[in-house]
Amino acid sequence: MAYYKDLREYLSFLKKNDKLRIVEREINKDSELHPLVRWQFRGLPEEQRTGFLFQSLTDSSGKKYHCSVASAVIGASREIYAMGMQCAPEDIHKRWLEAYRRPLEPKLVDSGPVKEVIHWGENLLEHGGLNEFAIPMATNGWEGLPRLTAISWHTRDPDTGVTNIGTYNGYLFGPGLTSCGTAHNAHLRLHLERCRQKGIPLQAAAVIGGVPAVSMVSVTKVPFGLDELAVVGGIAGEPLEVVKCETSDILVPAHAEIVIEGELRADYEIPNPAMGEHLGYMVLHKLLFPFEVKCITHRVDPIWHDYISQMPPSESSTIRGIGSEGTMLNFLKNDCGIPQVKDVAFHHCAGAWRLCVIRLQDIGGVRTHNGTVWQALNASLSISPDWPKIVIAVDEDIDPWDLESVFWAVCFRYQPHRDSRIIQGRTASMDQSSVPYLEEEEVDDRHRFPTSMSGPQGASAQLMDATRKWDYTPVALPKREYMERARELWEELGYPPLKPQAPWYGYSLGVWPAEYARQAELAEKGKFDQVAEMLLAKARR
Amino acid sequence: MAYYKDLREYLSFLKKNDKLRIVEREINKDSELHPLVRWQFRGLPEEQRTGFLFQSLTDSSGKKYHCSVASAVIGASREIYAMGMQCAPEDIHKRWLEAYRRPLEPKLVDSGPVKEVIHWGENLLEHGGLNEFAIPMATNGWEGLPRLTAISWHTRDPDTGVTNIGTYNGYLFGPGLTSCGTAHNAHLRLHLERCRQKGIPLQAAAVIGGVPAVSMVSVTKVPFGLDELAVVGGIAGEPLEVVKCETSDILVPAHAEIVIEGELRADYEIPNPAMGEHLGYMVLHKLLFPFEVKCITHRVDPIWHDYISQMPPSESSTIRGIGSEGTMLNFLKNDCGIPQVKDVAFHHCAGAWRLCVIRLQDIGGVRTHNGTVWQALNASLSISPDWPKIVIAVDEDIDPWDLESVFWAVCFRYQPHRDSRIIQGRTASMDQSSVPYLEEEEVDDRHRFPTSMSGPQGASAQLMDATRKWDYTPVALPKREYMERARELWEELGYPPLKPQAPWYGYSLGVWPAEYARQAELAEKGKFDQVAEMLLAKARR
């Protein structure tokens, strides 16, 4: 099956699979859109979450938009993310690793649907500039300006020409002015700093509504220097068709919905309005880089693409979590050379970054050495100064994505004084637990990103080894054959569909003495008198 | 509304409220019953779990029983437990505290339905003794004998005559012989030790199928010395009708389904078959007290009452968790005098005992002092040597029963090096993380209950303060009015019913500077140009 040609083909696929809610009634983009989609993240189980397509948008002034909005269409759930990759949910990480191994260069074409309408030069604002699009308000009641969320910023390294794609929020400062909020270690930031050094602005294209693979690559921390358009091709399994920008030689997807071309200014910065962040709190006192629009190209009746972010769980914690899992898995398994690492799970409640569970597997029947467990735990802090914060190692029989399963292991395979280490010298970034809020005039660069060096109390990480240190007695559930037989009965009786949660049957963990095995065997045949006899023979005064 | 007269009236109530699944088809009590009920704990969300009534029982030999089995009818869910108390789920703890304050002495009556059939003396085994009842196998494939689970052992203090009720598992060793597995600190054990000292057996009555209040009191650690029949009356809101046993002066519920009278022997012990425990593993090498049956009385067509225990979540982790919450809440709030303690939550995944979340509330608008938080955390280890093991303090806006909510707090309100303490000198009891398995001949009393003194590596607890230490910026969700309006839209659009998860709207946590408030206010009116102007005026080079 060929990869999706464009966002529209992908949305049809979601629709056909009951993973898209199409809203025909009029919706106020500034007061109703985000709260409505938000409800599915605060009130529905993950399997009931879907993408949304809003077809009739208005705003508080009553203006009607000739533009629909697609929200939560990439990461409403892990299942939907897998649909964007055309694979099963359990194959997502495999697809990512393949894309890194076999990137495919993009294919330059002369033109494409994204050039159907072009506004530039003195006609830039003929349809209102950025105000032509129904750009929604996020974190309603707290933020100050509509927010551009699902943007893929395309830039080229001023020295090497390699394309970087990254997603950073923008705010709608005016019809020809938006912003780009990058972290200090973002790859786009490195391009920008090089331009600042040369005293020139950075040419950039903000792409809205590419195929899902563009969004996935854009949100994920792909190693610096890799051409991300080729990684998109690696995920799609075919080269991405791209066109040149009107005002620069940046290459952008030919089938995108909207491309905003312009210059990122490095010579001045503007303060942000209050901004909802993935930690679940508003962030204040940050500075943004201005983006001055030079040209807008778009399809007829364009679809504005929007993410639901902020308080987790959200669409962005799904996308970021899956990307972080792939990155950490690749790092521990391949870069650190720990083949015992089977899975890595990042949890929504931690904004998908702070809580990390590492699942280890025994190889060749040899129990993973405790030193290897700690190699993985310690190494997990190596790829970022601020995430993860809580890292838990578990055995192969634990489901790392299920907090109940993980804390079953913590409660019964972990002794705090023996199996916990606290690592100082970490960075808190936007995590408010490290330093109290500072007034604007108190904030300087040291405080904007409080670190172990700058905060009054520092930041730290906790590593927890919740693997078994030795053999255990069996898991106290009926053996597999009993549970399977009972499942047939369950279905015959017409009870609600089961979603089995691991473990769902009892299994041996190494300790199962012969006399107990013999008793169980007799019991299976109903020979209880013989079991009683065995036990009573060992009665003692 | 009067309290339930008997188990049957309660079961009718459950049925009427769709909380009882009645199984008419033939079920093998030894291979099918427990696995079937188990599935709801490994494959259904809590709100879909129900009690079960099995009406046609057989066993591996093809024998048919004139006895039905009620399983999971007391604690399949928190909602069902509340039905047993005739209150709303959020009032369970209040009901418990009232019962302690206003216990009601039982009312002795001449006879009752439990005396409809009496087997004793040389007629004890006329219907097969204990084999008359369809006593199911638990943890199928691992255990060796059918297990008596929902027994309420009634005994009287040999010195004071006060009645104690407690639930301890028994195994079916023969038609006239079962066992009682008590922990070293169980109240029944104290009665038994006094008899051992006097060189006599302890008279006891094992009650099966009393009203729900009997089961609840029996499972809960009620303070020693309180007459538990009176506490049952306190929960029911009316005195429990009791009759005298045939062979002793023990009082038992007149409307019980079955009463087994006999003697607990203190002069010899028998080894247990492998036994599934609430930690989720099989327990080996324990010793049991023999119970020699002297008389059985029961209703016509009796109902055998059964609990689903072992691997959590289970019925028993629900019942034990709720009881432990009440006990800990009462201890911290009333005995330690910490009114800031609002709720205590025990989690299934920890067998309901090892993981404890304490929710603190500010009083009179004054933030709870950090010293008070630590008073509660430290005090939480005072009522038992082995539970809880992991204790987490959270603020009032966190849902202590929702692990996602609790770990959102841990990730962003807790710094490991500052907010964590590890306490040694704890007891591991059956927790295998402290000591490796020992062969039977290696086990002595010190090892059977490994403690910090006996285990090679000791046992410990971890205390975590995940409360905010200072004011934070607002929670990054739309304000309440937006979410409420969106909920109306959601319902109008006919989307699936919402179960709101806290927090479901954004609220202030103390930091919300005037300029941001002003920007948000302007944005709510759509005056984005004024917001942009405010921010651009503060642009800096």
The reply to whether A415 touches chain B by the CB within 8 Å rule is yes
The partner residue sitting opposite A424, judged by closest CB among B417, B433, B506, is: B417
Q: In whole angstroms, give the CA distance from residue B89 to residue B157.
A: 34
- pLDDT confidence of B186, banded at 50, 70, 90? confident
The yes-or-no verdict on residue B453 having pLDDT over 60 is no
The reply to whether A522 touches chain B by the CB within 8 Å rule is yes
The reply to whether B176 touches chain A by the CB within 8 Å rule is no
**Residue B433 distance to chain A (closest CA, Å):** 5
Four-point Cα dihedral B485, B486, B488, B494, nearest 10: 170
Site from A401, A415, A452, A489 to mutate, B interface, most B CB atoms within 10 angstroms: A415
Please indicate whether, in this complex, the C-beta atoms of A415 and B458 are within 8 angstroms of each other: yes
pLDDT at A288: 93
For strands B202-208 and B258-264, give the pairing. antiparallel
Q: Which A-chain residues 247-266 have CB contacts (< 8 A) with chain B?
A: none
The reply to whether B130 touches chain A by the CB within 8 Å rule is no
Site from B443, B535, B540 to mutate, A interface, most A CB atoms within 10 angstroms: B535
Q: Which B-chain residues 33-52 have CB contacts (< 8 A) with chain A?
A: 34-36, 38-40, 42-45, 48
The reply to whether B4 touches chain A by the CB within 8 Å rule is no
The yes-or-no verdict on residue A61 having pLDDT over 90 is yes
pLDDT at B457: 64
The reply to whether A61 touches chain B by the CB within 8 Å rule is yes
Please indicate whether, in this complex, the C-beta atoms of B36 and A404 are within 8 angstroms of each other: no
Please indicate whether, in this complex, the C-beta atoms of B407 and A481 are within 8 angstroms of each other: no
For range B171-187, the mean pLDDT: 90
**Residue A60 distance to chain B (closest CA, Å):** 6
pLDDT per residue over B315-337, tens digit each?
999 999 998 998 899 899 989 99
For range A332-348, the mean pLDDT: 95
The yes-or-no verdict on residue B438 having pLDDT over 80 is no
pLDDT per residue over B484-506, tens digit each?
999 999 999 999 999 999 999 99
- pLDDT confidence of B446, banded at 50, 70, 90? low
The encoded tokens of residue A535 equal: 């036990």
Burial class (CB in 10 A: 0-12, 13-18, 19+), B385: middle
Residues in A closer than 8 angstroms to B355, CB to CB, are 407, 410-411
The reply to whether B443 touches chain A by the CB within 8 Å rule is no
The β-bridge partners of A213 are none
pLDDT per residue over A205-252, tens digit each?
999 999 999 999 999 877 777 889 999 999 999 999 999 999 999 999
The partner residue sitting opposite A145, judged by closest CB among B348, B433, B528, is: B528
Lowest mean pLDDT among A45-59, A475-489, B263-277, B436-450: B436-450
A103 Cβ partners below 8 Å, 6+ apart? A226, A227, A230, A231, A233, A234
Residues in B closer than 8 angstroms to A431, CB to CB, are 411-412
The yes-or-no verdict on residue A53 having pLDDT over 50 is yes
pLDDT higher for A115 or B97?
A115
- Percent of chain A surpassing pLDDT 90: 82
Answer whether A355's CB lies under 8 Å from A349's CB: yes
Please indicate whether, in this complex, the C-beta atoms of A390 and B405 are within 8 angstroms of each other: no
The reply to whether B26 touches chain A by the CB within 8 Å rule is no
- Percent of chain B surpassing pLDDT 90: 82
The partner residue sitting opposite B531, judged by closest CB among A144, A354, A477, is: A144
The encoded tokens of residue A72 equal: 């939560």
Residues in B closer than 8 angstroms to A176, CB to CB, are none
| Conformation bin of residue A269: beta by default, left when phi > 0, alpha when psi is -120 to 50 | beta
Lowest mean pLDDT among A50-54, A100-104, B72-76: A100-104
pLDDT per residue over B259-294, tens digit each?
999 999 989 999 999 999 999 999 998 889 999 999
The yes-or-no verdict on residue A394 having pLDDT over 90 is yes
The reply to whether B444 touches chain A by the CB within 8 Å rule is no
**Residue A112 distance to chain B (closest CA, Å):** 34
Highest mean pLDDT among A223-237, A442-456, B75-89: B75-89
Provide the angle, in degrees to the nearest 10, between the axes of the packed helices B212-219 and B228-236.
130
The chain-wide mean pLDDT, for chain A, equals: 93
What is the residue-wise DSSP string for B285-319? S-EEEEEEEEEEEE-SS-EEEE---SSSSSHHHHH
**Residue A278 distance to chain B (closest CA, Å):** 8
The reply to whether A161 touches chain B by the CB within 8 Å rule is no
The partner residue sitting opposite B146, judged by closest CB among A143, A476, A528, is: A528
Q: Considering only CA atoms, give the Rg of chain B.
A: 27
Please indicate whether, in this complex, the C-beta atoms of B460 and A416 are within 8 angstroms of each other: yes
The reply to whether A282 touches chain B by the CB within 8 Å rule is yes
The yes-or-no verdict on residue A446 having pLDDT over 70 is no
Residues in A closer than 8 angstroms to B478, CB to CB, are 34-35, 38, 139-142
pLDDT per residue over B126-150, tens digit each?
999 999 999 999 999 999 999 999 9
For range A15-32, the mean pLDDT: 98
Of all residues in chain A, the one with the smallest CA distance to B351 is: A408
- ipTM computed for the complex: 0.93
The yes-or-no verdict on residue B36 having pLDDT over 50 is yes
Please indicate whether, in this complex, the C-beta atoms of A140 and B490 are within 8 angstroms of each other: no
For range B5-10, the mean pLDDT: 98
pLDDT at B301: 96
pLDDT at B451: 44
Q: In whole angstroms, give the CA distance from residue B190 to residue B200.
A: 14
Q: In whole angstroms, give the CA distance from residue B427 to residue B388.
A: 10
**Residue A122 distance to chain B (closest CA, Å):** 21
Please indicate whether, in this complex, the C-beta atoms of A478 and B140 are within 8 angstroms of each other: yes
**Residue B89 distance to chain A (closest CA, Å):** 20
The partner residue sitting opposite B501, judged by closest CB among A42, A417, A531, is: A42
Please indicate whether, in this complex, the C-beta atoms of A141 and B481 are within 8 angstroms of each other: yes
The partner residue sitting opposite A416, judged by closest CB among B274, B422, B519, is: B422
pLDDT at A449: 47
pLDDT at B270: 94
- pLDDT confidence of A454, banded at 50, 70, 90? very low
The partner residue sitting opposite A473, judged by closest CB among B282, B312, B440, is: B282
**Residue B363 distance to chain A (closest CA, Å):** 22
The partner residue sitting opposite A483, judged by closest CB among B35, B349, B440, is: B35
Answer whether A147's CB lies under 8 Å from A171's CB: yes
Q: Considering only CA atoms, give the Rg of chain A.
A: 27
Of all residues in chain A, the one with the smallest CA distance to B50 is: A495
Q: In whole angstroms, give the CA distance from residue B65 to residue B136.
A: 12
**Residue A335 distance to chain B (closest CA, Å):** 27
- pLDDT confidence of A452, banded at 50, 70, 90? very low
For range A165-187, the mean pLDDT: 91
The chain-wide mean pLDDT, for chain B, equals: 93
- pLDDT confidence of A372, banded at 50, 70, 90? very high
Instruction: Establish how many alpha carbons lie within 13 A of residue B67's alpha carbon, considering only the half-sphere containing its beta carbon.
Output: 27
Site from A411, A479, A489, A536 to mutate, B interface, most B CB atoms within 10 angstroms: A411
A125 Cβ partners below 8 Å, 6+ apart? A119, A175, A176
Instruction: Return the SS3 of A470.
Output: coil
For range A259-268, the mean pLDDT: 95
**Residue A121 distance to chain B (closest CA, Å):** 23
**What phi, psi does A6 have (nearest 5°)?**
-155, 180
pTM reported for the whole predicted model: 0.93
pLDDT at A370: 94
Q: In whole angstroms, give the CA distance from residue A532 to residue A536.
A: 6
Please indicate whether, in this complex, the C-beta atoms of A417 and B424 are within 8 angstroms of each other: yes
The yes-or-no verdict on residue B447 having pLDDT over 60 is no
Please indicate whether, in this complex, the C-beta atoms of A276 and B522 are within 8 angstroms of each other: no
Please indicate whether, in this complex, the C-beta atoms of A472 and B432 are within 8 angstroms of each other: yes
Site from B18, B408, B492, B493 to mutate, A interface, most A CB atoms within 10 angstroms: B408
For range A478-488, the mean pLDDT: 98
The encoded tokens of residue A171 equal: 């705010």
Please indicate whether, in this complex, the C-beta atoms of B506 and A141 are within 8 angstroms of each other: yes
Closest residue by Cα to residue B139 from A523, A229, A256, A455: A523
For range A303-324, the mean pLDDT: 94
The yes-or-no verdict on residue B443 having pLDDT over 70 is no
Q: In whole angstroms, give the CA distance from residue A72 to residue A424.
A: 37
Q: In whole angstroms, give the CA distance from residue B57 to residue B163.
A: 34
Q: In whole angstroms, give the CA distance from residue A150 to residue A96.
A: 20
Q: In whole angstroms, give the CA distance from residue A172 to residue B529.
A: 9
The reply to whether A142 touches chain B by the CB within 8 Å rule is yes
